Amino acid sequence: MDDLADTVRRLLGEAKSRERGGPRSRLVDAIMVLLLSRPMRSSEIAAILGYQAKYISSYLSYWKARGYVDYENGYWTLTPKGEEYAEAVLERETAEDVDKMAGIAKRILSSLKVKQTVNDKKPGRRRQGSGRSLSFTVARTGKGDNELQERVRRASCILAVYKDDLDEDELEVLSNLLSHYAKWGITYVYLDNLAEEMQADYHWLLRVARRLQSKGIIYIYTDPRLGVRIGLTKHMKETLEACEA
């Protein structure tokens, strides 16, 4: 709940800083994320976010007409569409936090490597690598890496199961989707982001995704605001959880 509150406060701060110069989309994000916690009255939302209740009510009415929120017995709640949107916002904000922490972690590791080189009495020696069986296999060994290693194991297992049933293009796309899962623990990604990561043509990627969809491996969903998203189907997620190498 504390993480959720921090996200709401950050979104609210950005929304207020943009009010005079542009759209209030960040305020929408803040309201949607706030409603993830529980149903709320507009007066409660207004008090938390620092707006007038009348303004928040009219704002929510606008998004109710677009299918993101619902109103019943004096309380505002998220619709399934709203929940999906709010979870995407929360995921995006969390990913940004992780990226910031990753930058700090890399700087720490960089300074550690420099120190190790200085203290190494045999600078000519080379560490033996373990090889690269999959593009997303990462070599981390530490207390907090158990979940990461388990995701990598599951992703590797799935690729081994499907490698003979998919063509080269399909396997490449699935491998990148599983790489995203192994890194972040998330089973979906937006197609434009994936195209950028893979340095691939967007339309080629969409065609391959449709083939994977026809095989029941992924779903394709078009969000009117955020774009095309692909992710593992429910069956595939169950297979992923149960996969044994």
CATH code of the domain containing 155: 1.10.10.10
Whether 53 is covered by a domain: the verdict is: yes
Task: Specify the higher pLDDT residue, 113 or 76.
Answer: 76
Range from 122-126, 141-145, 148-152 carrying the lowest mean pLDDT: 122-126
The number of folded domains in the chain is 2
DSSP 40: B
In this predicted structure, the answer to whether residue 21 has a pLDDT above a threshold of 60 is no
Q: How far is CA 157 from the centre of its chain?
A: 22
Residues 148 and 235 in one domain: yes
Closest CA to 82 of 115, 39, 132: 39
Cα distance between residue 228 and residue 224, in whole Å:
8
Residue 118 has pLDDT above 80, yes or no: no
Instruction: Give the range of the structural domain holding residue 36, as residue numbers without chain letter.
Output: 2-83
Of 32, 58, 83, the last residue of a domain is: 83
Q: pLDDT exceeding 90 applies to what percent of the chain?
A: 21
Per DSSP, 16 falls in state H
Confidence class of residue 128 from pLDDT cuts 50, 70 and 90? very low
Q: Is 101 part of any domain?
A: no
Q: Which residue has the higher pLDDT, 114 or 187?
A: 187
The model carries a pTM of 0.45
Asked whether residue 94 is domain-assigned, the answer is no
In a domain, 107, yes or no: no
Please state, in angstroms and as integers, the Cα–Cα distance from residue 61 to each residue in 69, 74, 94, 221, following that order.
8, 13, 28, 25
Last residue of a domain, one of 83, 112, 132: 83
Q: Coil, helix or strand for 51?
A: coil
Say whether both 148 and 78 belong to one domain: no
Query: Taking the mean position of all CA atoms in its chain, how far away is CA 205?
Result: 19
How crowded is residue 133: how many other Cβ atoms within 10 Å of its Cβ? 9
Q: Which helix (H) or strand (E) element contains residue 162? A: helix 146-162
Among 156, 195, 201, residue whose Cα is nearest residue 178? 156
Has residue 120 been placed in a domain? no
Give the end of a domain, one of 83, 101, 119.
83
